[in-house]
Chains A and B, each alone.
Chain A
Amino acid sequence: GESVGLHLPTLSVQEGDNSIINCAYSNSASDYFIWYKQESGKGPQFIIDIRSNMDKRQGQRVTVLLNKTVKHLSLQIAATQPGDSAVYFCAEMGGSNYKLTFGKGTLLTVNP
């Protein structure tokens, strides 16, 4: 069935380091992917998205990479800051519907 999963449930980095959060997906029909950030007690917040016709997309301090061959998605955060501490979810959408399927999340902790 459709599933989106994460390799690492937790990630701890030092302030200023770069962070990489990985995600695997299994639905070959997925054509749209999103990374969300969720801080404690809040709803998921859109970070960046990528469509299946792209391999890479950059935002402010964030980059998403998509490898359709191995069905892998990653989120890179440059110069990680304490405010980046949160749970990060990847989500995918595909086929003819607009249902968004989420992975289980990775907890990112940034140490000062």
Chain B
Amino acid sequence: NAGVTQTPKFQVLKTGQSMTLQCAQDMNHEYMSWYRQDPGMGLRLIHYSVGAGITDQGEVPNGYNVSRSTTEDFPLRLLSAAPSQTSVYFCASSSAGVRYGYTFGSGTRLTVV
């Protein structure tokens, strides 16, 4: 049981490049979310999904796209990377129904130069 798996762990992009951060969970969780963590800012919600085919925006969605074609996967796409997107990105998942705490992946550290 791997939990929430994020790839890659580290990435350096040039301004304007695009890339996809991968997130997969094997717990059959309905809910999945993407957060970014900046120094002194805590974790801020980018996008979230309550099930396959359903996504919605969080607090800081600009510059990011998501899709949820399967229950297991929730990729985050950066369309045109900017230095302001330098951050640590965390994916998390949770069961639906009764509220449970989200399980987090180990993060992707992204640097945009």
Contact between chains at A44 and B50 (CB < 8 Å): no
Number of interface residues of A (CB under 8 A): 22
Closest CB in chain B relative to A90 CB, distance in Å: 10
Taking CB atoms, residues of chain A closer than 8 Å to B102 are 34, 46, 100
- The one of B40, B96, B104 in contact with A44, judged by C-beta atoms closer than 8 angstroms, is B104
Taking CB atoms, residues of chain B closer than 8 Å to A43 are 4, 90, 92, 104-107
Taking CB atoms, residues of chain B closer than 8 Å to A51 are 99
A104 (CB) vs chain B CBs: closest residue: B42
- The one of B40, B43, B101 in contact with A102, judged by C-beta atoms closer than 8 angstroms, is B43
A32 (CB) vs chain B CBs: closest residue: B99
Q: Does A45 contact B (CB under 8 A)?
A: yes
A residues with a Cβ closer than 8 A to B are 31-32, 34, 36, 41-46, 49, 51, 89, 93, 98-105
